């Protein structure tokens, strides 16, 4: 375990581009992934901000194959593979693991509410057993504001006890530092790698034994977030954190996901990026204008590599 080189640092829940008829656009997707990699970000494809649950299983499998066929390094990928349906979760997790992905980011099944810790344990346990591959690395995805169903410390303890090494860590998108701290304090020394779900907590996470962040805004601001990850022990870390927070503050004034797409569309001069799948809607023109104005005032831009 101690020798294993696990994925760390900054990962983007890669936004998924759509064509006008709402089909995934694999060419724009792979181009965005290449751009993210060049600027230091790993690829948490199929996350919340990827509209992953708005895609069918077949659409996700096809996009994953497209990335692999395009030569994107699976060692820099942590696809989201959680699902309400055990069979879907197993199929996608299996494919990602056999392709050599660094890990998978698994939502708990999120349709039924108030489910028991035992039921969630069985879901993850069945996934591990059915995939049956020693390379499997599962990162548990805690995002209670969206999934409602969460990942409790008790569940982590049971899973880590039963599948050490395979249960590799978590993404904590609770937005609650107390929860992240609990996870770090309880499990970080057991080979359980904690990513925060927002760069707002990146410095704090690194200072307390975490390994990075998986954040929506890494889709548009990857280099600056990666810089803090690499230099969090340096003198200007607090200043860097404040700079990241300012950009995120502007991006958070509108709904995050359409805001990210609006920013990509604007700075790349590529309007096709704005398309989202229902039930999401794109930003109104006035919202886009306010967003860009706010970013311009910060001197923000995205490099066109």
**Residues in the site for its own copies, rule: CB under 8 A?**
22, 48, 53-57, 59, 84-88, 91, 108-113, 115-116, 118-120, 122-123, 126, 145-149, 277-281
CB of 113 to its own copies, least distance (A): 6
Nearer to its own copies, 7 or 128 (CB): 128
CB of 188 to its own copies, least distance (A): 26
Nearer to its own copies, 65 or 239 (CB): 65
- Do 80 and 104 touch, CB atoms closer than 8 A? yes
Nearer to its own copies, 113 or 178 (CB): 113
CB of 305 to its own copies, least distance (A): 31
Q: What is the β-pairing status of strands 212-214 and 9-12?
A: parallel
CB of 126 to its own copies, least distance (A): 6
Nearer to its own copies, 4 or 21 (CB): 21
CB of 38 to its own copies, least distance (A): 30
Nearer to its own copies, 109 or 210 (CB): 109
């Amino acid at each position: 375990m101690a020798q294993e080189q696990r994925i760390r640092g900054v990962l983007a829940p890669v936004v998924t581009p759509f064509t006008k008829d709402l089909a995934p656009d694999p060419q724009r997707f792979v181009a965005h992934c290449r751009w993210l990699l060049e600027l230091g970000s790993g690829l948490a494809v199929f996350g919340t901000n990827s509209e992953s649950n708005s895609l069918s299983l077949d659409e996700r499998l096809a996009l994953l194959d497209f990335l692999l066929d395009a030569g994107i390094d699976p060692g820099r990928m942590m696809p989201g593979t959680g699902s309400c349906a055990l069979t879907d979760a197993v199929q996608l997790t299996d494919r990602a693991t056999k392709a050599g992905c660094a890990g998978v980011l698994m939502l708990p099944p999120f349709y039924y509410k108030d489910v028991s810790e035992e039921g969630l344990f069985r879901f993850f346990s069945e996934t591990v057993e059915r995939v049956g591959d020693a390379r499997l690395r599962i990162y548990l995805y805690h995002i209670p504001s969206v999934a409602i169903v969460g990942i409790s410390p008790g569940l982590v303890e049971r899973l880590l006890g039963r599948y050490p090494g395979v249960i590799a860590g978590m993404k904590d998108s609770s937005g609650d530092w107390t929860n992240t701290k609990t996870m770090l304090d309880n499990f970080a020394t057991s080979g359980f790698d904690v990513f925060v779900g927002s760069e707002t907590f990146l410095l704090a996470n690194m200072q307390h034994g975490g390994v990075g962040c998986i954040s929506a805004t890494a889709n548009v601001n990857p280099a600056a977030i990666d810089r803090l990850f690499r230099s969090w022990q340096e003198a200007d870390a607090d200043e860097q954190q404040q700079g990241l927070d300012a950009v995120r503050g502007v991006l958070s004034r509108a709904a995050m996901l359409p805001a990210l797409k609006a920013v990509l569309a604007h700075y790349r001069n590529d309007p096709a990026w704005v398309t989202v799948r229902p039930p999401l809607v794109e930003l109104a023109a006035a919202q886009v204008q306010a967003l860009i104005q706010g970013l311009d005032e910060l001197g923000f831009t995205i490099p066109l590599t």
